[in-house]
Amino acid sequence: MDLYERIYDIVRSIPAGSVTTYGHIAAAVGTRGGARLVGWALNAVALSDRLDIPCHRVVNRLGELSGRMHFETPFVMRERLEAENVTFVGETVDMSRHLWVPPMPD
């Protein structure tokens, strides 16, 4: 399976009301340190309008919405998360409540 497809499968599995990080996804596909690669894969999704992949559930390691500029407006990412009852502390996701870590590869 293509690496981007493996990334998309993980993003599809993030439960509603939860978020994960670019780094956690990179580790789950076996590319530690590949957080930037995960970002590129998700940017490709935004460009192709594949709505079946909930990219809004992927944040940076601090809980910041670093991908927000790749949505229709800079506010859409937060609005989608809030619609799923994700809470924020200031401008960052409350990671202690909403972080989901994908399973690591065998």
Active site residues: 55
CB 98 within 8 A of CB 86: yes
The secondary structure of residue 73, as a DSSP letter, is S
Report the C-alpha gap between 99 and 59 in whole angstroms.
10
Q: Are 81 and 41 in contact (CB under 8 A)?
A: no
CB atoms within 10 A of CB 25: 26
Report the half-sphere exposure of 47 (CA within 13 A, side-chain side).
6
